[in-house]
Amino acid sequence: MTIDIMGGVLPLVSAIGPVLGGRVLFAVPTRSPRFVLTFDDGPDPATTPALLDVLRRRGARATFFLIGERASAHPELVARIAAEGHEIGNHTWRDEPTWRLGPDEFRDSLRATRRALEPHGPVRWFRPGSGWPTPDHLAIAEAEGLRCVLGSAVAISGAGAGTASTARRLNRVVRRGSVVVLHEGPQRAGVVATVDELLERTARRGLSAVTLSAAV
């Protein structure tokens, strides 16, 4: 796993995957020259349309992990995400640390978000808020037909949107099957430039960005 911290990229111990018994997807084993591009915390009028424009121009696809209350407030953006060939995932109802939620509250959050998203397409994936699930939450998500996805290259600087050096640093660590995590939304307009540059750099290396479901 690799995390971009304050403009730098820091390798982490890869032993955390087995702790969860392989139930959490960090990266996709593949020989295809593809990686997975994901965005958390949308949709938002400040960033989602511009992100979609960049993805279309670069011929890339992505998985958007959407906040339920934001999806409910901006269904037209969710519809555009799906219509342009991207994938939607469940990021719970509110932007909050998922691990703080009790089992019933967590289940209700997943289900409310699913109701907001499913009119726009199938939802297979779940990502917890603040980046870590509890074993109880994993069991609940699995019972709801969702698999938990974290990532192998996560931008932290710029509130998760990246800064001027993030794309260059991420490009150094993105490999076949990598799952890249970026954030969009208010105060995160920089994500658009980060994605544009990252896609340019990875394309030079023969790598293309795809959705999770296309990669697995």
- By annotation, the residues acting in catalysis are 40, 183
Quickly list H helices, 84-190: 103-117, 135-143, 166-173
- Altogether, the residues listed in the chain come to a count of 216
Whether the CB-CB separation of 170 and 192 falls below 8 Å is answered with no
Whole-angstrom Cα distance, residue 121 to residue 57? 23
Whole-angstrom Cα distance, residue 207 to residue 105? 40
- And the tokens for 145? 């037909």
- And the tokens for 60? 């890339």
**Residue 26, SS3?**
coil
What pairs with residue 155 in β-bridges? 4
